[in-house]
Amino acid sequence: MDFALTCPIPIQQYPTVVMAHGGGGRLMHQLIEKMFVATFGGEALNHRHDSAWLELPTSRLAFTTDSYVVRPLFFPGGDIGKLAVYGTVNDLAMSGARPLYLSLGMILEEGLPMETLWQVVLSTAQAARATGVQIVTGDTKVVDRGKGDGIFLNTAGVGAIEHDLTITPQSVRAGDAVILSGDIGRHGIAVMAVREGLEFESTIESDCAPLAEPVLASLEAGIEVHCLRDLTRGGLASALVEIASTAQVGIHLQEALVPVREEVRGACEILGFDPLYVANEGRFVAFVPAGQADRAVQVLRRFAVSEGAEVVGEVLASPEGLVVLESVIGTSRVVDMLSGEQLPRIC
Amino acid sequence: MRFVEEYRDAQAARKLAEAIRQVVTRPWTIMEVCGGQTHAIMKFGIDELLPPQVTLLHGPGCPVCVTPVELIDKAVELASRPEVIFCSFGDMLRVPGTKGDLLSAKAAGGDVRIVYSPLDALQLAIRNPQRQVVFFAVGFETTAPANAMAVYQGKQQGVTNFSILVSHVLVPPALEAILSSPNNRVQGFLAAGHVCTVMGYTEYEPIAQKYRVPIVVTGFEPLDILQGVYMCVKQLEEGRSEVENQYARSVRREGNRHAQDLIRDVFEVVPRKWRGIGEIPQSGLGLREPYRAFDAEQRFPLTTGSVEEDTECISGLILQGVRKPHECSAFGTRCTPEHPLGATMVSSEGACAAYYRYRRSGNQAAS
């Protein structure tokens, strides 16, 4: 598929999104035809029907949805369009599913520059192409100026489950190894740095990336994956606490083994943040039997997105429902969820 | 990372812990003054490394915790005014007053913004001449120079739409209040390294002498704290009560003179109420006469008066080291970070929040 790199909606005509672009009339039709269908393409969209017809290779499906709000819309390493594709694709991948189809709902704020919308649409299409999913249905609404934050996106995704495993938190058991796919904390710090105008010596880029490939490769290699979880808001700590609590096992994490890049570590020190709780958009944890951990790490490291995979901890029977962190100075403590987002501290 | 990793070395930590074990012969109770130290102690489990004879008590050095509840109410009232952009450091936003917190004021339509420096708030005022920008000036001597600088520059530049809601407090009067209390258990202090970076430590020397307590100016990394404890225990064992400086890589005896001059130019020492403790004479800072126009309490007609605190909350006793968080009947049940009764449960540096976050599994290890 070729992409037109200039905006197909004549800018001089409507340089910004107006209410009529969501009004069901000619302007909306033009936006959908010229910008969305032309860019996302595909057979299902070309039917121009109220719903998409899908061909499914398996009877077991994974189905998920997520909404995306981020300020700024563009940040180092990604943008809202990429997030909306990768986020939902990653949720499918965490069931071990092969992502196939996405829906795309857009809520646009009146006054949004058409060029901004175009850049997001382009990026969304590129992300979809890179992950091998098709955008098969969509929706557009426009809200009054001041009632949105530029663009809100919602994607729902369908994926095919081609394995017989039960990949859930309940499947985690004592004796599992905890594998982390790479360094943590980059997305949260990257977005925050742009939003708050913080400057560090080097630009910190979001880790925003699709995760299906390494997951599917692990399954193809016969790794008996017990649980997968992508680390988004709340970071590594919150993901592990949730799993420990659901599976009623004790997750023992080695702080010294958790990779955090120098610049992220520095930013966290300045802001009083703990990288364990900072958001990621391209990282996951995998729980696999300890005996298969080395092999799983080898498979994951074949892919750029998970080339930093490491075993960072183990699952024991106790303490039930808790995550215990062995700190860098060799002491241990319980890791809890935060009550809200981390707030920069005073001094 | 330089200046961090070398102070978090497991082997060096064990060595220092061993040195403390070697020197200690009987029970000692030491208070770390600063909330940042409390946080580090809990986060790294430093107290686990200490011999059973050494008890650490957590001091009043958490600005979020000691800001009186009526100041929070005043902040909420100011933030609710349509012409005001209310700026604050992030961790003040969740502190409950009697009429909710600043996050709720924001949700109700108030323009509440997190800033990283009072100078950012001043810039915001310059960029928004039609609005009133108020900065919540809380903190100890550590944040006072930057707050003083914002007011000083505001005056120099003739900015008329910038003001600060002042709740500055000082460490030495709080130490004296603790030491002169009949319930006092504290035998030695780890003084707050960052406060002393600004103020130096000469003002601690008469306190150490008068009350015969060793005071060790201490940093915030695990090895700093362990070394501070070692120096303090050694003094106690040897019957000395001196001011020593563990944090020499940042602190000089005379402190930062430029910062002190600026503080003295803009602020004067005033009596101040501490949340949970009550009023301590000469324990805070207020704006001097030439800078009064920058005082938000003068600029706006506020209706918030004196406010009674929740009686169930024992944060005052915790801040004075009389009780530990898990000795409170509300701890972890009626009082949690989601529904805090008092500020020590709100701030990440508050002793209760630190206990809750890092020790929830029965808190056996905490006693």
Could you report the per-residue pLDDT of A274-300, keeping only the tens digit for each? 999 999 999 999 999 999 999 999 999
Record: contact A329-B10, CB cut-off 8 A: yes
A165-191 per-position pLDDT tens digit: 999 999 999 999 999 999 999 999 999
Tell whether B138 is within 8 A of chain A (Cβ).
yes
Kindly state the helix (H) or strand (E) to which residue A335 belongs, with its residue range. Answer: strand A332-335
Averaged pLDDT, B156-174: 96
Average pLDDT, chain B: 91
- State which residue of chain A sits closest to B350, comparing Cα positions: A345
Sheet containing B188-192, strands listed edge to edge, beginning at the edge strand earlier in sequence:
B54-61, B28-34, B188-192, B215-218, B243-245
- What is the greatest pairwise CA distance in chain B? 66
B139 and A CB contact within 8 Å: yes
Any chain B CB within 8 A of the CB of A146? Answer: no
- For residue A103, the distance in angstroms to the closest alpha carbon of chain B comes to 31
Residue B341 has pLDDT above 80, yes or no: yes
Same domain, B240 and B161: no
Other Cβ atoms closer than 10 A to A9: 18
Q: pLDDT grade, residue B364 (50/70/90)? A: very low
A198, pLDDT greater than 90? no
Query: Do residues B119 and B152 share a domain?
Result: yes
Both tokens of A208, joined, read 């925003």
CATH of residue B163's domain is 3.40.50.11740
The distance of Cα A116 from the centroid of its chain, to the nearest Å, equals 21
Judged by CB atoms closer than 8 Å, whether chains meet at B116 and A198 is answered as yes
CB of A330 within 8 Å of a chain B CB? The answer is: yes
The reported pTM is 0.86
Please classify residue B229 by burial: count the beta carbons closer than 10 Å to its beta carbon, then call 0-12 exposed, 13-18 middle and 19+ buried.
buried
Pairwise CB contact (< 8 Å): A344 & B114: yes
Nearest to B93 among A272, A327, A343 (CB): A343
The verdict on a CB contact (< 8 Å) between B91 and A332 is: no
Query: Cα(B253)–Cα(B246) distance, rounded to whole angstroms?
Result: 12
pLDDT, residue B113, reads 94
Helices (H) then strands (E): counts for chain A: 10, 13
Q: Do B205 and B354 fall into the same domain?
A: no
Contact B143 A322 (CB under 8 A): no
Q: Inform me whether the C-beta atom of residue A6 falls under 8 Å from chain B C-beta atoms.
A: no
Whether residue B263 lies inside any domain: the answer is yes
Flag whether B295 is in a domain: yes
Q: Which of A63-67, B32-36, B268-272, B303-307 has the lowest mean pLDDT?
A: B303-307
Residues B164, B95 within the same domain:
yes
Is B361 at the interface with chain A, CB within 8 A? yes
Q: Tens of pLDDT along A293-314?
A: 999 999 999 999 999 999 999 9
Give residue A4's pLDDT.
Answer: 58
B229 shares a domain with B131 = no
CA distances from A266 to A4, A263, A275 (A): 41, 5, 10
Quote the tokens at residue B306: 């004196």
A272 touches chain B (CB under 8 A): yes
Write the pLDDT tens digit of every residue in B253-264: 999 999 999 999
Interchain contact A340–B (C-beta under 8 A): yes
Strand partners, B235: none
Domain ranges, residue B322: 315-359
B166 and B263 within one domain: yes
Cβ burial of B203 (10 Å; 0-12, 13-18, 19+) is middle
A339 vs B: CB within 8 A: yes
Strand partners, A67: A154
pLDDT higher than threshold 70 for residue B291: yes
Work out the percent of chain A whose per-residue pLDDT is above 90: 73
Q: Where are the domains of chain A?
A: 19-161, 169-335
- Taking the CA of residue B333 and the nearest CA in chain A, the distance in Å comes to 15
Please report which confidence band the pLDDT of residue B365 belongs to, taking 50, 70 and 90 as the band edges. Answer: very low
Region A266-271: mean pLDDT is: 86
Helix (H, G, I), strand (E, B) or coil at B270: strand
Decide yes or no: CATH 2.40.50.100 for domain A169-335. no
**Mean per-residue pLDDT for A321-329?**
93
| Whether residue B136 sits in one domain with residue B10 | no
Check if A331 contacts B (Cβ < 8 Å). Answer: yes
Grouping H, G, I as helix, E, B as strand and the rest as coil, residue B327 is helix
Q: For residue B23, is it within any domain?
A: yes
CA distance A191 to A205: 9
Going by C-beta distance under 8 Å and a sequence separation of 6 or more, which residues neighbour residue B255? Answer: B196, B197, B198, B199, B200, B201
B115 and B220 both lie in a single domain: no
Mean pLDDT of A195-210: 86
Q: Is residue B322 part of a domain?
A: yes
**Residues B267 and B149 grouped into a single domain:** yes
Q: How far is B197 from chain A (nearest CA, A)?
A: 12
Contacts of A333 in chain B (CB under 8 A): 42-45, 358-359
A322 touches B: beta carbon within 8 Å: yes
Q: How confident is the model at residue B338 (pLDDT cuts 50, 70, 90)?
A: confident
Answer whether B140's CB lies under 8 Å from B192's CB.
yes
Q: How many CB atoms lie within 10 A of CB A131?
A: 23
Q: Same structural domain for residues B159 and B272?
A: yes
What's residue A199's pLDDT?
77
The domain that holds B33 is classified in CATH as 3.40.50.11750
Whether residue B133 is found in the same domain as residue B265:
yes
Same domain, B106 and B148: yes
Q: What do you get for the CA distance between the two ends of chain B, in Å?
A: 33
- Of A15, A67, A10, give the one whose Cα is nearest residue A35: A10
Contact across the interface for B356 and A336, Cβ inside 8 Å = yes
CATH number for region A19-161: 3.30.1330.10
- Res B199 pLDDT > 50: yes
- Pick B222's closest partner by Cβ from A322, A329, A346: A329
What is the tens place of the pLDDT at every residue in A6-15? 777 765 578 8
- A31-90: pLDDT as tens digits: 988 899 889 987 777 777 888 999 889 889 999 999 999 989 999 999 999 999 999 999
Q: How many domains does chain B have?
A: 3
